Chains A and B, each alone.
Chain A
Amino acid sequence: MKKLNVLLLFLLSLLLVACGKSEKSPSSAQLEKLTWEQIEATASGSTVNMMMWAGDPKINAYVQNYIAPAVKEQYNIDLKTVNGQGNNIVQLLMTEKQAGKKSNIDMMWINGETFYQLRQIKGLYGPFVDRLPNSQLIDLENPFIGLDFQEPIKGMEAPWGNVQMTLIYNSEKVKQLPQTRADLLAYVKKYPGTFTFDNQFTGLTFMKALLIDIAGGKDALAGNYDAAAYKKYAPQLWSYLRDLRPYLWKKGEVFPENVAQMHQLFASGELYFTMSNNDAEVDNKINEGLFQEYARAYVPDFGTIQNSHYLGIPGNAVDKAAAMVVINFMISPEAQLKKQSPEVWGDGTVLNMDKLTESMQARFLNSTDRKFSPKRKDIQDKALMEIAPQYMINLADDFRKEIINK
């Protein structure tokens, strides 16, 4: 019995140590009653843990060497980054939610599919975007920003950046760019083994563009998920991909596990094409020395998906006030301007130019110093909206069943 008591005491102390994070931050209900000035005052002296994809040195440098020092200087907030994206965030919040504990992260960078998953598990704090003074400058009327995978963001996540997918190609090898599905099929037959797409988010985004094209283009699959439409058009997509398959990299028997591997294969000359969800990627990668100067990017006539990325706050975050202050700074004109430069990141802004001062508008217009990537205005007409999340879930499952496993 004595032994059991000692054991219980030990377990209890472990539990107390694990749950010992102090909570001086206001609760969600208290937060709603505070003015913005009070929120800033509350946030002072806090530490904000931001979970973000840390796979790009430029993006890491922007957050760690620009955002973090700025929020420390202006608001006395320590911003720390934690590596993790999409499913890591969802898994973490699911586990924390089940355990009924406060989150280890205070804010996170999320994309559409993660927003959908976090809504499924009711893992987000909000609505909070309207509380941010700089949110008045966001171009929420723009459906590429105000809708995330066809779902209104309803203040549950703050738009942070906007990008469009481009196909990146070796301009020394590819002289005639495939503009249609038929062109692409003709290209892979002429240059077998030099084209593929990855088995992750980027590849799925490419497949979504093909599906939209098959369905009739632009708004053909707009709105909620339509099971009948998917049933009608998806078989045509698989049929098309089966036509492409024998001429893809490694005869389509394997697909690169991620876009980084595809970039590597492109850089080594094994592939003539790679792709990216960032339309300024070519400039980034040439600046980094990964791609040579023959790399160029374009959007085929059938279009590519344009989407935004966002910043969210977990429902069980400890320092929500401080996270809101940091997010407000990240959507400020200065921070957005800095981010837009390809030398820094090359990420498109989410701000409405008409709402900015004239001098700031001029600075935005003059800051776009892309050398190798297409200008945003040249590809905007070919931008396709993200389709409902269920399409993506089905495409991911069926791609495995119809292509990979066959």
Chain B
Amino acid sequence: MKLNKISVVVVQSIFVLFAAAPLIFGFGYALLYSFGLIGVLNEGFTIVHWERLLFESNFWGTLLFSLVVALVTMGLSLFFALLVVVAWYKNLERGALSYIVYLPLAFPGVVMAFYTFQLLSKSGFLSRLLYNLGITNGLNDFPDLINDAYGIGIIFSLLLLITPFFILLYANMYRNERIQELTELASTLGAKPIQITLKVVLPVLLKKSAFTIVLFVIFVMGTYEIPLLLGRQNPSMFSPFVINKLQKFNLNDIPQAYAISILYILLIALLIGILFWKLRGLFIERATT
């Protein structure tokens, strides 16, 4: 019992040292920097960086664009992942598909962005194919799919990265939650296939993965390399927007970059807090089963 208590203290200390403390110190540093209290070029307390952030910069537009891209990406990703799992669950258990689905997980984001660029840019593979088939007359006939206003290139690239993860997640859930048995039971009770999918399979899978989905939305909102290579300067996604403030020529913009990161963290923490509260029943249920 004593040994158990000591191990708990050790584990907690390690967590505080290596996970919580750096984050707390980092947050504190950013907060002080944003108010001009520390930093080589800062000259004392000021709220001017926060004023500029809230009223002059494109912060809110950037946040909205990042959120929309993340929601669309997640929506499409979930659609395809659920489609694959529901339609081809047996193929995912064995055979070629069960291996192929792991493949995109091995790609770093920057590589996926590069492949997307090679595939969808005006001088890319698809454009050349259409030109050689006589469907287009040149580069300019091919639509803007990269660095476009709607984030199509970004969404496409992220879809390729994220969808396999959710396919694997749902395939495992399908097995662990005994959905096959529930399906057969519902069928025996007279439910039609569409009813089984909408009333049994999807609710179970989505409910069980709700928090993972939220975490992925946050992850997509903060992604860097893909929007940097495939996106625009305006509207921009969140990470390139911050880096632009942090690492461009004007050193006096650095406090604003820290202010942006603080505001973003607070908003995300608030979002997670609300969702945690809303979904608390699910966690309690999971903890007791």
A residues with CB within 8 A of B: 3, 7, 10, 86-88, 90-91, 94, 97-98, 113, 117, 120-121, 193, 199, 204, 250, 253-255, 257, 261, 265, 268-270, 389, 392-393, 396-397, 400, 404-405
Q: Which 5 A-B pairs have the closest CB atoms?
A: A268-B123, A87-B247, A254-B232, A254-B147, A270-B123
Q: Is the contact region of chain A dominated by helix, strand, or loop, or is it mixed?
A: helix
Chain B residue nearest to A400 in the complex (CB): B233
B103 at the interface (CB under 8 A from A): no
* Cβ contact within 8 Å between A396 and B123: no
* Cβ contact within 8 Å between A90 and B251: yes
B40 at the interface (CB under 8 A from A): yes
- Could you mark each residue 116-149 of chain B with 1 if its beta carbon is under 8 Å from any beta carbon of chain A, else 0? 0000011100000000000000011000100101
> Which has the most chain B C-beta neighbours within 10 Å: A7, A392, A405?
A405
Interface size on B, residues (CB 8 A): 27
B2 at the interface (CB under 8 A from A): no
21 A-B residue pairings within 8 Å (CB atoms): A86-B247, A94-B39, A94-B40, A98-B39, A98-B40, A113-B249, A117-B249, A121-B251, A199-B233, A204-B249, A253-B232, A257-B229, A268-B121, A268-B123, A269-B139, A393-B249, A396-B248, A396-B249, A396-B250, A400-B234, A405-B58
> Which has the most chain B C-beta neighbours within 10 Å: A10, A90, A389?
A90
Chain B residue nearest to A261 in the complex (CB): B229
Residues of B within 8 A of A253 (CB): 149, 232
* Cβ contact within 8 Å between B249 and A270: no
Chain A residue nearest to B128 in the complex (CB): A268
* Cβ contact within 8 Å between A270 and B41: no
How many Å lie between the Cα of A270 and that of B128 in the bound state?
Answer: 12
Say how far B149's CB is from chain A's closest CB, in angstroms.
7
- Could you mark each residue 227-243 of chain B with 1 if its beta carbon is under 8 Å from any beta carbon of chain A, else 0? 01100111000000000
Say how far B61's CB is from chain A's closest CB, in angstroms.
9
* Cβ contact within 8 Å between B233 and A270: no
Say how far A53's CB is from chain B's closest CB, in angstroms.
14
Residues of A within 8 A of B122 (CB): 270
Contact status of A3 and B9, CB under 8 A, knowing A98-B38, A250-B147, A269-B123: yes
* Cβ contact within 8 Å between A250 and B144: yes
B7 at the interface (CB under 8 A from A): no
Chain A residue nearest to B243 in the complex (CB): A87
Contact status of A121 and B249, CB under 8 A, knowing A257-B229, A270-B139: no
